[in-house]
Structure 1
Amino acid sequence: MPPVLNVITLATFAASLSVRALDPVLPHVAEDFGVSIATAASFAAVFAFTFAIVQPAIGAAADLFGKARLMTICLVLLGLANVLGALATSFPILFVTRVLAGIGSGGVFPVALSLTSDLVGPDKRQIAIGRTLAGSMTGNLLGATASGLIGDLLGWRGVLAVLGGLVIIVALAVAAGFRGAALTHVPRTSLTALRHGYRTIFTNPNARFCYSAVFIEGCCVLGLFPFIASFLFQLGETSLSIAGIVIAGFAIGGLFYTLTVSRLLPRLGVRGMMVVGATLVGLQLVGVAFGPGWRLQMLGLLVMGWGFYMIHGCLQVFASELSVEARATALSLHSFFFFMGQTVGPIAYGIGLQHAGKTPTLVTAAAVMIVLGFVCARFLKQRPPADAHLGS
């Protein structure tokens, strides 16, 4: 594997620190600003929505002007947005800083996947993407866990201040690392080629299944996370540290996936990975529905994270092969639909929990995920992109 993958992994680590940072401390944010938990949970939706809507522009800009440069700038924006959020004096101001954080985070992960796909051939790409995911999962893990611990010590403002400072430091280190790696080739993509890239992407039969599937994943799985802390509060677990540890279980499962993918893929194959992964997710959603203690919930989220990335990693590889010349665009659209799902998810869960109750809502989400795994295994097929000859 190319050494520069370590730099890319560091970038995804930094960007992921802030994604779940507010989830464990949402009850305290709601209390400080006098809003409901459902209103405070809108932070997850606005972060995801902002992340999503910038994706088409981010992907095009990366293909046109350079992926490494754009990714570094977005890291700096993310760090500054977190610091400004720590200084927010009202709920609307904090809301705006989460919008800025979504823009910053939105410019990192899909571009990192595109750089990884540029550097590694399709035969080794899922393993290379697994390494990139390891940075993301570690960031999610430490972000959620540190958020709960720092929240107990310094409050939610301390969470944003500390993470913001760390992201800025990592942004400077990543910028230096890319200079040392000499990724200086001039992007060949033009506006004309970009338009052709969009046509190439959406004429590929895999596109509609890839993008629909990641939307459903984001809705059914990641849409649940803003409610985990309140579920624990209902069980009498009011410690923010406990909420952070439980949510971190999902990231630990993702890390376990990165350690096992090289052995699972030859044994299960791509189709088996998608079916098994989606089934594991569905079973754990059913488990959470019945409200076990926090230790069992953490274990359930660990298994859920493992299963989630088994199917999600396969979808990322399929998305990376929709186009060669517009690969950053294809992967940014992948993230667009994924985070649109995360935007709709908390809203859908909120409506379901209010009107149908916890168990029916989560069991429905579980059924949807299991069906999704079988649909993806049936209809997604290995197809070379129409512009494959241009990348040779």
Structure 2
Amino acid sequence: MPPALNIIALATFSAALSARALDPVLPHVAEDFSVSIATAASFAAAFAFTFAIIQPVLGAFADIFGKARLMIVALTLLGFANILGAMATSFPLLFASRILAGIGSGGVFPIALGLTSDLVGAEKRQVAIGRTLAGAMTGNLLGATVSGLIGDFLGWRGVLAVLGAIVVLASIVVAIGFRGAALTRPPRTSLSALKQGYRTIFTNPNAYICYSAVFIEGCCVLGLFPFIASFLFDLGQTSLSIAGVVIAGFAVGGLFYTMTVSRLLPVIGVNGMIIGGAALVGVQLMAVALGLEWRLQLLNLVFMGWGFYMIHGSLQVFASELSAEARATALSLHAFFFFMGQTVGPIAYGFGIQHAGKVPTLLTAGAIMIVLGFVCARLLRQTRPADAPST
């Protein structure tokens, strides 16, 4: 694998530290600003919505002006947004800082996948993307865990201040690393080629399946996360550190995926990854509904993360093959629909829990994920991009 993948993994690691920074400390944020948990959970929706709506613009800019350059700018913005949030004196100001953080984070993850896809051929791409995701998974793991630990000692403001400083420092390190890497070459994509790329993307039937599937994933899986701490509070477990550890279990499962994908893929194939991953996620969502003690919920999240990335990683590979000339655009649209799902998810979970109850809501989400796996495995077909160079 190209050494430049290590630089890309560092970028995703740095950004991922902040992605779920407030989830373990939401009860304290709600208390400080005298708002409900559901209102505080709107941070997740704001972050995800901003991440989503900025994707078509960022994807186009990355294809035209250069992926690496845009990624560095986004990391810097994310770091300063976190620091601004730490100094917020009101709920609206904190909310605005999370919107800025969503823009910054939006310029890292999908572009990192685009760079990875540029560097590695389709036959090795799922393994390469898995290695790139290992950086993000490690960041998610440490981000959730460290947020809980820092929150117990320094409060939620300390969480944002520390993580913000780390991301700013990482942006400097990544910029130095990119300077010597073969990733800063002038892009060859023109505006006219980009327009043709959009047409290529949406003439491929896989686009509609991929984008619909990741929307459902984001809604059913990531939409749950803002409520995990409050579920634990309902069980009498009020430690923010414990909440952070439980949420971090999802990232542990993601790391397990990155370590097993190269062995699993040749054995069960892409369809097996999709069906098996979706089924594993669905069963774990149903298990969360049982209200088990935190150690068992941690185990649930580990298996949920493993299953999630089995199906999500497969969908990312299909998305990377929708267009060759507008690959960053295709993957940014993939992220757009995924984070739109994360925008709708907390709202849908909040509505479902309030009106139907926790158990029916989680059982429904689990059933949807299981069905999704079978539908994707049946409808997705491996094809070369229509604008791929002839061989």
TM-score when scaled to structure 2?
Answer: 0.99
d(CA) in 2 for partners of 1:284 and 1:365? Answer: 10
Between 99-108 and 381-390, the greater mean CA deviation after superposition:
381-390
Aligned-partner residue type, residue 172 of structure 2 = L
Aligned-partner residue type, residue 360 of structure 1 = P
Question: Residue 166 of structure 2 corresponds to which residue in structure 1?
Answer: 166
Aligned-partner residue type, residue 270 of structure 2 = V
SS in 1 for 2:77: helix
Question: Residue 303 of structure 1 corresponds to which residue in structure 2?
Answer: 303
SS in 2 for 1:389: coil
Aligned-partner residue type, residue 198 of structure 1 = Y
Question: Residue 362 of structure 2 corresponds to which residue in structure 1?
Answer: 362
C-alpha displacement of 1:185: 2.0
d(CA) in 1 for partners of 2:176 and 2:385? Answer: 34
C-alpha displacement of 1:74: 0.2
C-alpha displacement of 1:183: 2.4
d(CA) in 1 for partners of 2:302 and 2:185? Answer: 40
Equivalent positions of 1:74-153 (< 5 A) are: 74-153=74-153
Task: List per-residue Cα deviations over 1:242-298 (Å, max 9, x = no partner).
Answer: 000000000000000000000000111000000000000000001000100000000
d(CA) in 1 for partners of 2:162 and 2:86? Answer: 9
Aligned-residue identity in percent: 78
d(CA) in 1 for partners of 2:12 and 2:54? Answer: 17
Task: List per-residue Cα deviations over 1:196-221 (Å, max 9, x = no partner).
Answer: 00000000010000000000000000
Question: Residue 57 of structure 2 corresponds to which residue in structure 1?
Answer: 57
Instruction: Report the aligned-residue RMSD.
Output: 0.7
SS in 2 for 1:324: coil
Equivalent positions of 1:242-391 (< 5 A) are: 242-389=242-389
SS in 1 for 2:189: coil
State the 4+ residue runs in structure 1 displaced beyond 6 angstroms. Answer: none
Aligned-partner residue type, residue 107 of structure 2 = G
TM-score when scaled to structure 1?
Answer: 0.99
d(CA) in 2 for partners of 1:8 and 1:293? Answer: 37
C-alpha displacement of 1:38: 0.3
d(CA) in 1 for partners of 2:46 and 2:82? Answer: 15
C-alpha displacement of 1:180: 1.1
d(CA) in 1 for partners of 2:220 and 2:289? Answer: 13
Question: Residue 229 of structure 1 corresponds to which residue in structure 2?
Answer: 229
d(CA) in 1 for partners of 2:134 and 2:343? Answer: 24
Aligned-partner residue type, residue 43 of structure 2 = F
Gaps of 5+ in 2: none
Task: List per-residue Cα deviations over 1:291-324 (Å, max 9, x = no partner).
Answer: 0000000000000000000000000000000000
C-alpha displacement of 1:186: 1.4
C-alpha displacement of 1:97: 0.3
SS in 2 for 1:386: coil
d(CA) in 2 for partners of 1:123 and 1:143? Answer: 32
SS in 2 for 1:292: coil
Question: Residue 32 of structure 1 corresponds to which residue in structure 2?
Answer: 32
Between 150-159 and 183-192, the greater mean CA deviation after superposition:
183-192
Question: Residue 46 of structure 1 corresponds to which residue in structure 2?
Answer: 46
Please say if residues 68 and 184 of structure 2, whose CA atoms lie closer than 8 Å, have aligned partners that are also in contact: no
Task: List per-residue Cα deviations over 1:326-363 (Å, max 9, x = no partner).
Answer: 00000000000000000000000000000000000000
C-alpha displacement of 1:184: 3.3
d(CA) in 2 for partners of 1:172 and 1:124? Answer: 30
d(CA) in 2 for partners of 1:16 and 1:253? Answer: 15
Aligned pair count reads 391
Question: Residue 16 of structure 1 corresponds to which residue in structure 2?
Answer: 16
